Amino acid sequence: MTFIDRTSESTLIRTRLLGWTTAITALVSVSAVTVLTLAGHTEAAEVVGTIGVTACLGAGITQITVNVIRR
């Protein structure tokens, strides 16, 4: 059975890069929230957490869209 995949290699690399970027953003966000909370800056921790969650959701939705379009 022949499978024709018209997806270029650069698109596959970008998709993987998006996944890694999302994971690293989440890790940095959780680390920053933990440090800010332990330092007593709860308001700043809430803001950083909100920004981190929004960035991860946006990147995750984009990654799902890219994968659905590829199939």
pTM: 0.65
Q: Given this model, what pLDDT does residue 60 score?
A: 72
Integer Rg of the chain from CA? 17
Q: What is the DSSP letter of 16?
A: H
pLDDT at 35 over 60: yes
pLDDT at 25 over 90: no
* Cβ–Cβ < 8 Å for 69, 12: no
Q: Given this model, what pLDDT does residue 42 score?
A: 92
Residue 36 falls in which region: left (phi positive, over 0), alpha (psi -120 to 50) or beta: alpha
